[in-house]
Amino acid sequence: MSCPCCTRTFENEDEINGFQARMNELQDPEVSELHAMSAKKAGEVRDTLSKYEGYRKTVSENMHDHLEYIRVCEELKDVEAIIADEG
């Protein structure tokens, strides 16, 4: 038997048993640091996604406000032009 990562062959039964025990630990969600790191990262990604959604919403709302501002400015120009023509 050999290590799947480095293809090093195990010298004796103790190394094989130790390797298999360690692999079993890494697979067990209760004790595996891999599972713990993965869960932590998933939480961080969820938090980041939530923040970005908030930023997106804020930018979107500000864009609508900006477009409304531009529309109102154009209407004011039209009204001012009408008033100037009448005066």
Q: What's phi and psi for 35, nearest 5 deg?
A: -65, -40
Provide the CA 53 distance to its chain's centre, in angstroms: 10
In angstroms, the first-to-last Cα distance of the chain is 98
The whole-model pTM stands at 0.52
**Token couple for 23:** 């692999």
The dihedral formed by the CA atoms of 33, 37, 42 and 44, expressed in degrees to the nearest 10: 140
Element (H, E) at 43: helix 33-86
For the chain, give every domain's residue range. 32-86
pLDDT digits (tens, 9 = 90+) for 16-62: 888 889 889 888 888 889 899 999 999 999 999 999 999 999 999 99
